Chain A
Amino acid sequence: MTPTPTPARPQTAAPGRTPGRARRRGALIAWAFLAPALLLFLYFKFIPMFTGLMMSFQEIRYIDSTWVGLDNYATILTDEAFRSAIWHSLVLALGTTAGSLVFGLGLALLIEGPARYLWFVRTAAFLPVVVTMAAVAEVWRIMYHPGDTGTLNMILGWVGIAPQPFLADEDSSLLSIMVMSIWRGTPYDMMIFLAGLVGIDRTLYEAAAVDGASTWRRLRHITLPALRPVFWILFTLAAIRGLRVFVEVYVLTNGGPNGSSEVLMTLIYKLGFQTGELGIASAGGIVLFAATLALTVLVQLMRRRQSA
């Protein structure tokens, strides 16, 4: 495989004495190994990103496209459908993030420990995270059947709650999607919290117990502070994932009924692929990207200030 003759003289690692040619050759090899990755990124990430940015300033037509400046952005920020889609995205992202964090932390505390049966419960509970979102959404769509024989309505019936319309009603569609997302997000957060819990020094707990601290105080003063970095990472990840949510909504309601669960990505998809408003759709993508970026930077800044 290597047609180029390798130098017979071994090259020692002393950087000061490395000949310039060998170093250039090393750099060349490094770029050659990187080339496939960079090429794929260029074609399928950076060129689309740039194209999207350009398209967001234009009105795209089949024959000729006209430059419209910031008109597409103005449309997004003033259009009623976009405004409500942005609002739904934010609500869904925040609700899912908060729900998954709270339940994830609670379950992590409950299930922490080296016992074998705990490992089994953890593994089983983690299954929702690894399975395909599209399939999960189909499963939940069936369970959300609004009739009184629907799976979830039957369970609600056991505790005396009247049948709910779930996805079929404007007031409950977004909340129903959120519940499913929390169901899938909780085990993920739980696992990451568990990894954080394992890293806490056991002697701190023992020392606290010797000093007579209650479980609650131990939790508040040792466990939770130690989990802070994990918390921020999970918050950022989940919030970003929540903002860009698509499959969940597309499969469960496709934005309905009557736009009550329309999020930014489903609206962008419809504009781009169904109504052909490519310029506005691209501007929507850029806005979403900007929001994601702003959120990440904000969280990083807050973390830095907290740890300083």
Chain B
Amino acid sequence: MMRFDSALGLESRRGPFATAGKILAYSGMLVVFTGPLVGLLISAFNKTLDPTSFTWWPDEFTFDNFVHAADRNVYRYLFNSFVVVGFGLLLQMIVSVFAAYSLARKKFRGMSVVMLIMLTTMMLPEEIIAIPLSLVLADLPVLHLNLIGTYAGMILPVGAWGFSILVMTEFMKEVPVELEEAARIDGAGELRTFFTIILPLCRPALGVIGVFGFTMIWDQYLLPLIVAPEAGMWTLPIALRSLRSDEEVGIGVLLAATLLALLPSIVAFLAFQRQFMRGLTSGAVKG
């Protein structure tokens, strides 16, 4: 009797040909999807570099590329990236958790309008509003602040994210109402209930919006491009383009910087893999 753990039932196929086929297919996948990243990793630590190609077989291990990277301000860009992602993520998570609490636990007039607003912002790709956004950032309406060339200009626009709010809302709806009512009967105020009852129960969802928010903010490109005209404020992703041609050290600094730009998201993904997968399916399948 065949067992069906999968649609094709490949796992129950034994025998030398099936096994060889499977090994070939899976290692092929590994080579195609991780090969380029591995090539970068090896090359970034290699002494002699070919500017036209990755080095697949290292001849001499070195940190030189990372040392030279300091001369080209790479660590300054990395620092900027971390400032933006650190404060941006903190703001984004606080904003999402607050908004979700309202949407999941409160009943009030205008709620459907607010939901519509959230969905509209998710439909609206940020690329499309880039030009007017640059004008708004240069002179905030009513407040008349100029955020061009500041960290705030890169942080505030990512502060509210519809995806995070909706994921959080869905999760908070699952928290049983009885717990909240019990706290209220004990005399706990609104904020106490929120911080001592609701928030601790939402820790898994915080992981989901945290890891998604991190990759989303780290991946920002157009926003820092319009906010940071001066090189001193560049984030690492937008700085990569300017590191391409270096007469003295060749391609090495670019490789080191690219690796530094890749690693944080990979680390975040591997550390929060389960939360990432959960967010992926809930976000995509529910629209």
Contacts and interface: CB of A to CB of B under 8 A. Distances in A.
Asked if A and B bind, the verdict is yes
Interface of A: 1-2, 4, 6, 8, 10-11, 13, 26-27, 29-31, 33-34, 36-38, 40-41, 43-45, 47-49, 51-52, 55, 107, 109-115, 117-118, 121, 123-128, 130-136, 138-140, 142-143, 145, 147, 149-151, 154, 183, 186-187, 191-192, 195-197, 200, 202, 205-206, 209, 215, 218-219, 222-223, 229-230, 233-234, 237, 240, 244, 246-247, 250-251, 265, 268-269, 272-273, 278, 281-282, 285-286, 288-289, 292-293, 296
Interface range on chain B (Cβ under 8 Å from partner): 35 or more
Scoring A30, A206, A250 by chain B CB atoms within 10 A of each residue's CB, the highest score goes to A30
B20 interface: no
Find the residue from B29, B114, B123, B280 having the highest chain A CB count within 10 A.
B29
27 contacts: A4-B189, A30-B106, A31-B102, A34-B102, A38-B160, A40-B95, A43-B141, A44-B133, A44-B160, A47-B136, A48-B132, A51-B135, A107-B29, A121-B29, A123-B270, A127-B34, A127-B266, A127-B269, A131-B266, A135-B261, A140-B36, A187-B33, A195-B285, A246-B221, A268-B131, A285-B130, A292-B125
Contacts of B124: 45, 49, 289
Nearest to A147: B52
Contacts of B157: 40, 44
A240 B164 CA distance: 20
A236 B159 CA distance: 26
Interface in B113-143: 114, 117, 121, 123-125, 127-136, 140-141
A130 B216 CA distance: 9
A261 to B, nearest CB: 16
Contact of B265 (A130, A138, A186): A130
B148 interface: no
Interface string B1-41: 01011111111000000000000011001101110110110
A125 B192 contact: no
B258 interface: yes
A188 to B, nearest CB: 8
Contacts of A134: 219, 221, 237-238, 240-241, 261
Contacts of B201: none
B34 A151 contact: no
Given A183-B32, A288-B125, 11 more contacts: A1-B192, A36-B95, A37-B98, A49-B132, A117-B26, A143-B36, A186-B33, A192-B280, A209-B2, A273-B131, A296-B123
Contacts of B135: 48, 51, 55, 278
B160 A41 contact: yes
A4 B281 CA distance: 41
A112 B33 contact: no
Interface stretch (B64-72, B179-187, B202-210): B179-187
A195 B281 contact: yes
B7 A128 contact: no
Contacts of B261: 132, 134-135
A244 B131 contact: no
B246 interface: no
B52 A145 contact: yes
Q: Which 10 residue pairs spanning A and B have beta carbons closest together?
A: A134-B237, A40-B160, A30-B106, A52-B132, A112-B6, A205-B4, A37-B99, A51-B132, A27-B108, A272-B131
Among B25, B34, B98, B258, the one with the most A-chain Cβ atoms within 10 Å of its Cβ is B258
